[in-house]
Amino acid sequence: MQNLHSIKQDICDIGSRIYNRQFAAANDGNITVRVSENEVLCTPTLHCKGYLKPDDIALIDMQGNQISGRKKRSSEALLHLEIYKQREDIKSVVHCHPPHATAFAIAREPIPQCVLPEVEVFLGDVPITKYETPGGQQFADTILPFVHRTNVMILANHGTVSYGETVEQAYWWTEILDSYCRMLMLSRQLGNVSYLSGEKSQELLDLKDKWGYKDPRNTPEYDNCDICANDVFRDSWAAAGVERRAFPAPPPVSSNAAPANSGTPSSEDALVKAITDEVIRQMQST
């Protein structure tokens, strides 16, 4: 039999980490843990996640009805419950608003792939859902196109949701994602994002498979996809308003060239060079 008090304490500990990392301001965010076929522990609404106590955690059923608890359950519990209904292997869900990942949610900018080995192994392609007003079933349903192919999503104009076998694992994916988004922004400010080659990226996917982490890019369904070009979820971009604006597409997998960067495209380089050469020629002729 599970020790519910211990699980509640784990939820409180993760709530504190979320708050201390500034992933949840004021009463933002919510955390759940599934403890039986029809029972889920859930953080309360309007309560700061940095100061949770085990007695604050509510118990709800899989329809969202509150079974026990002195405080009302989170208003966004339906999102968590839909993930549990779709994924029997999932035991915990974490939703919060990590600032760097949420910036991508607001910009609706797809997360570049084939940049950082750890991210390729632990996250892979990260989808951005279609926007819906938080709280209702329509909002919960936005995860349906993606829930079986990833353990972390960006919620358009909202935040992130991640899930796993334990509450700590569910939180890990969010922390990795936000850290990665911050690195991308800093690299972009430096003026360059270098991509791994398709060959090296495939080596990472092979390691991922060997270590038991599944990735859609390593399945027959995506045999012909460009593993570095966000092909897994690209079909969903138009409906969600997702578009590359800040980060260009990486080179094709088949390219044996040196890693690409986010500088001026080669055609523009040639034009600039031609203009410069002509200016120099004109100056030399006077």
pLDDT digits (tens, 9 = 90+) for 178-236: 999 999 999 999 999 999 988 898 899 888 888 887 888 888 877 777 888 888 999 99
Say whether 229 sits in a helix, a strand or coil. Answer: coil
At 163, the pLDDT band (50, 70, 90 cuts) reads very high
Burial class for 220, CB neighbours closer than 10 Å (0-12, 13-18, 19+):
exposed
Helices of type H across 191-244: 198-210, 237-240
Q: Could you tell me the pLDDT band of residue 2, with boundaries at 50, 70 and 90?
A: confident
Q: Categorize the per-residue pLDDT at 259 as very low, low, confident or very high, splitting at 50, 70 and 90.
A: very low
Q: How many CA atoms lie within 13 A of 278 on its CB side?
A: 6
Closest CA to 125 of 103, 155, 146, 95: 146
Domains and CATH numbers, the chain: 4-190 (3.40.225.10)
Angle, CA 6 vertex, CA 154 and CA 84 arms, to 5°: 35
pLDDT at 215: 85
pTM for this model (two decimals): 0.85
Instruction: Region of 249 please: left (phi>0), alpha (psi -120 to 50) or beta.
Output: beta
Q: What is the pLDDT of residues 87-137, one digit of tens each?
A: 999 999 999 999 999 999 999 999 999 999 999 989 999 999 999 999 999
Do strands 66-68 and 92-96 pair parallel, antiparallel, or not at all (unpaired)? unpaired
**What is the percentage of the chain residues whose pLDDT exceeds 90?**
73
Element (H, E) at 281: helix 266-285
